[in-house]
Structure 1
Amino acid sequence: MPLRPSRDVFITCAVTGAGDTTSRSDKVPVTPHEIADAAVEAARAGAAIAHIHVRDPKTGRPSRDLELYREVVEKIRASGVDVVLNLTAGAGGDLVLGSPEAPLPPDPAGTDMAGAGERLAHVAALLPEICTLDCGTMNFGEGDYVMTNTPAMLKAMAARIRELGVRPEIEIFDTGHLVLAKWLKDQGLIADPVMVQLCMGIPWGAPDDLGSLLAMTANLPDDWTFSAFSIGRNQLPYAGLALAAGGNIRVGLEDNIWLKKGVLASNGDLVERAVAIAEAMGSRVMTPGEVREKLKLERRW
């Protein structure tokens, strides 16, 4: 495959995520105030897009509470700092089975299964420019957690996202998810331009080796826009790999809490490093306005 590095690139910062990272770093934002400030910090450092989850302010656990999202979004919009908002719609597809000998009923402590409308309630209320669509089902971790997104659920969510005029960021964790994304597009449920996030190195999805990345990018339609990332220590090297493959960059504390060995990062630190990598490779980092034009996004405030 010929080298086709991105000359104009945008950076997404995933500022907090839903994982148990708050116990390992005090820099991971938890409250709506902290999450909004992290998104503003990332934008000032060079991120055009802020990818946002919310957490219960008391426990730090993931949440899909509309009012928490509202507080975050309103604070970012009132900050005067321009950034494209990308709200997760992944919450509500969490299935934790019981033990291997008694998988049913599901474990109520971790299971959160909701209908398509409920999973998109915050998107409908707040109308971000982008929301995510996790395009498939897969095992996560070493326990009994299954990220659950059936074809019927994906069809319903994709149709609702299109109806709202929001651009879906299609989250691809494995090769079969890319097949599902093409299937949704063929049915007219995803509008052009299609935006894809290749989520690499997450057990038990596509590994983050170079061969797997190139296999994924080789099967992307030429007119689709993609970003790619890996987790942990490979997050920052993947910024360079994504650019070399013709894609865009995602960094942030959702996926990696370290700037280098022994040094905890902030979201701003990770974005600044991604900017340095991009510029060192001869790329120009795009502004939020340029990303809106490229992806045909409508600014709602």
Structure 2
Amino acid sequence: MKGKVILTAAVTGAGDTTEKNPNVPVTPKEIADSAIESAKAGATVAHIHARDPKTGGISHDIDHYREIVDRIRESETDVVINITSGGGGDFIPSLATPAAGGEGTDIQTPEERHRPVGELLPEMCTLDCGSTNFGNMIYVSPTDWLREQAKLIQQSGVKPELECFDTGHLRFAKQLINEGFIDGDPIFQFCLGIPWGAEADAETMLYMKNRLPENAHWSAFGIGRMQMPIAAQSALLGGNVRVGLEDNIYLRKGVPATNEQLVDKAVTMLEGHGIEPMTPDEVREYLQLRNPSGGK
């Protein structure tokens, strides 16, 4: 157990959650404001997806990302910005069009997925380290595409957070390290409880933790009701913590949450174990972040 941890707020995601919780931020202003309020509550990293302001669904529009990032950077509240590079990876199986996929299929090239990271130069970005069954959808992230994305991220100077939704993703993330695509000490994120990825339990977390490189940093999150139990378990095992409406939309059963409420709940939980969140500057030093944009 460490005395200080990184506390990430994943403020919106791309899932179909807006109708279930009116607090899920949708517009660039709402997403930026929620990231700022989360930082004020104690989060030191804001993980960012963009949504379409008209539909509430996923957006790849660089202008949406730019407005979110600019609003956060121009605010008086400091927070490390972490943009998704997951982009369009959704393949919807269809018996009618098996090769092309069905309605809702949304596939981007590695270059397209990287564009918000490459143009806006956040301090961090996520890198989804493999394909997976994601409910009844397939998230597509082939190994050669991942190599290309990792190379683009490396060239940009942004720190990748290596997201592992299953144990095979962890194996390939280590392969990226072995092939020289990851600079400095790597940071891994164990994404637990996604149907049908790795289980959200202590045994799975320990299995993955015990297979990390010696110089690795790591974090873990659970979805739904497992958000806080996994956050607590991760902190107690020496990992970092992620909460937020991307992964869980309830404060407690039947009560819609806000991002700042979930962050505050995590801070209180950590304090109960004698742990506190790092400051943004402490995270920058801890992860040796470079910020090519010249922002905070």
- What residue in structure 1 maps to residue 190 of structure 2? 198
Residue 217 (str. 1) matches residue 209 (str. 2):
yes
The one-letter code matched in structure 1 to 2:179 is Q
User: Is residue 25 from structure 1 mapped to residue 25 from structure 2 by the alignment?
Assistant: no
Aligned-pair identity (%)? 50
Preserved CA contact (<8 Å) 1:6 1:248: no
Please say if 1:155 is aligned against 2:185.
no
Tell me the CA shift for residue 187 of structure 1: 0.5
Contact (CA 8 Å) 2:201, 2:230: kept in 1 or not?
no
Counterpart in 2 of 1:296? Answer: 288
2:43 matched to which residue of 1?
A: 47
Q: Does 2:55 match 1:59?
A: yes
Superposed, which structure 2 residues align to 1:83-122 within 5 Å? 83-99=79-95, 103-107=98-102, 109-122=103-116
Superposed CA deviations along residues 156-214 of structure 1, whole A, max 9, x for unmatched, are 00001000000001100000000000100001001112011100011110001221111
* Distance (Å, rounded) in 1 between the aligned partners of 2:275 and 2:8: 15
Structure 2 counterpart of 1:267, one-letter code: N
Provide runs of 4+ in structure 1 moved above 2 Å.
101-105
Let me know the Cα RMSD of the aligned residues: 1.0
Summarize deviations over 1:113-153 as a string: whole Å, max 9, x none.
12111111111111000011000001111x2x111111100
CA contact (8 A) 1:21 1:28 kept: yes
Q: Contact 1:96–1:146 at 8 Å: present in 2 too? A: yes
Q: CA deviation at 1:254?
A: 0.2
Q: CA deviation at 1:279?
A: 1.1
TM-score (norm 1): 0.95
Which residue type is aligned with residue 43 of structure 2? A
Give 1:262 shift: 2.4
Q: Identify which range, 174-183 or 208-217, moves more after superposition.
A: 208-217
In structure 1, the partner of 2:166 is 174
2:178 to 178, 186, 190: 186
Q: Measure, in 2, the Cα distance between the counterparts of 1:227 and 1:248.
A: 4
Q: Aligned partners of 1:105, 1:135: CA distance in 2, in Å?
A: 23
Secondary structure at 1:146's aligned position in 2? strand
Q: Give TM-score, length-normalised by structure 2.
A: 0.97
Query: For 1:15 and 1:37, how far apart are their aligned partners in 2?
Result: 10
Q: Secondary structure at the match of 1:120?
A: helix
| Residue 102 of structure 1: how far off its partner (Å) | 5.2
**1:223, CA displacement in angstroms?**
1.3
